[in-house]
Amino acid sequence: MKNISKKNWVLYIVTFLVIVIGDQLTKILVSSSMMLGQSQAIIDNFFYYTYSHNQGAAWGMLSGHISLFVVVSLAAAIFMFYYFSKTTKAQRLTRYGIVLTFAGLVGNLTDRLYFGYVRDFIDFIIFGYDFPIFNIADMAVVIGVGLIILEIIFEDYINGKKKIRD
């Protein structure tokens, strides 16, 4: 991690803090102003704030297994630190993706440890499908993993191009 500039460290730390604090503040706002199950239309038939509790993983899978989620989260955090430390200066998307994913992990792990469930509130209906309710931490994880995947695809593309030219 020696090859990370002060400017990038500041960017990573600020990003992490904005995600974790923003996630927790929005969850506090929703949980203190809405009753569980209450829904408020933002854009009718498309976007709602719907306050819910998720005791499982994505789509409520493995509901009620908080110990498993805590152990998996801690293992994932260790892996993320290790993987981040092995990245190179050129792997900007991967580094930023790990920061976003880690921030999302911390946001949801905080809820699991403090409440025993994750507070969700962002609710979309897309082409008639009521997408599972999620939160800012969930978005950070999805965007972070997406950035890592893009970097992997991009690296393969560049490496492939170099091989063709050689």
* Each residue's pLDDT tens digit, 8-32: 899 999 999 999 999 999 999 999 9
Of 23, 111, 120, 123, the active-site residue reads 120
Q: Strand 118-126's sheet: what is its strand order?
A: 39-43, 47-54, 118-126, 129-130
Give yes or no: 120 in active site: yes
CA-derived radius of gyration, the chain: 18
- Does pTM top 0.95 for this prediction? no
Query: Is-catalytic flag, 130?
Result: no
Domains of the chain by residue range: 6-165
Q: Could you tell me the pLDDT band of residue 58, with boundaries at 50, 70 and 90?
A: low
The residue count for the chain: 166
Q: One of 23, 111, 123, 138 is an active-site residue; which one?
A: 138
How far out from the chain centre does Cα 90 lie? 23
Residue 65 reports pLDDT greater than 70: no
